[in-house]
Amino acid sequence: MRVDMHMHTMWSGDATTTPDELVGAVQETGIDVLCITDHGTTNGAFRLRDDLAAVGCRVVVGQEVRTWAGEVIGLFLTERLPHGLKPEEAVAAIRGQGGLVYVPHPFDPMRSCLRESVLVELVEAGAVDAVEVFNAKTSLSHLNELAASLADRHGLARGAGSDAHEPTAIGAAYVEVPSFDVGDAGSFLSALRSSSARVVGHHYDAPRQWRPRIVPSTKAT
């Protein structure tokens, strides 16, 4: 199964991908599972599950949360995470929903990466499930390599995502894993840890074509 673990839709506010564009991108790329990780909301992920299921793609509900120390992603969420959380609070909130704690784009100064001292503290406390070892928007390959080294040193699952903010970027990076229960966080984590799991990707950060659009509400529904 091909899983893009980190991408955004127009619900993020800073992304442009509409539901129709998302469906088209999935059909073109053959992605089997999209982790929709919009900033500050889960509304888009919940709204798009049926649309994508109709074209053979399953959705993992996620959210990218900005803390004072940088960003953390929660996967397999059941509800929106509130604003203003501290890193340890974000982890507790994600785990409280039975979700996975995923650290995106570590070490990339061009992204809101988690402060290294905080990242190490969380990892050593066993509070991180997976690390993004390939972010398609990270232009310097050694930064992805640093992330892979961190994951390997601490026995963490390796993740990858396009970090797409526009439709042509979807699927630029993903993990290829054995079949798993898309509704079960533990099943996915086991698949990520499988010896046959692999990271696939290339750098892709095309400029976004901004256009007038209505940005959906990010309030909990």
Contact 112, 70 (CB under 8 A): yes
36, 42, 117, 134, 179 from 63: Cα distances, Å: 7, 6, 23, 18, 23
Instruction: Output the domain CATH number for residue 185.
Output: 3.20.20.140
pLDDT block averages, 10 residues each, the chain of length 221: 97 91 95 97 96 97 97 97 95 98 95 94 97 95 95 97 96 98 97 97 82 68 60
Is 216 inside any structural domain? no
Is 207 inside any structural domain? no
Is 214 inside any structural domain? no
Q: Which tokens go with 164?
A: 């797409």
C-beta atoms surrounding 50 within 10 Å: 9
Which residues, 6+ apart, have CB-to-CB distance to 192 below 8 Å? 130, 157, 158, 159, 175, 177
DSSP 125-137: TT--SEEEEEETT
Question: pTM score, two decimals?
Answer: 0.94
For residue 205, the model assigns a pLDDT of: 87
Is 126 inside any structural domain? yes
For residue 172, the model assigns a pLDDT of: 97
Angle 87-96/116-124 helices, nearest 10 degrees?
A: 40
Is 211 inside any structural domain? no
Number of domains in the chain: 1
Torsion of CA 181, 187, 189, 192, to 10 degrees: -60
Domain holding 186, by residue range, is 2-201
Which residues, 6+ apart, have CB-to-CB distance to 180 below 8 Å? 1, 187, 188, 190, 191
Is 70 inside any structural domain? yes
Residue 161 backbone phi and psi in degrees, to 5: -155, 155
C-beta atoms surrounding 66 within 10 Å: 15
Is 221 inside any structural domain? no
For residue 216, the model assigns a pLDDT of: 76
For residue 214, the model assigns a pLDDT of: 64
For residue 207, the model assigns a pLDDT of: 73
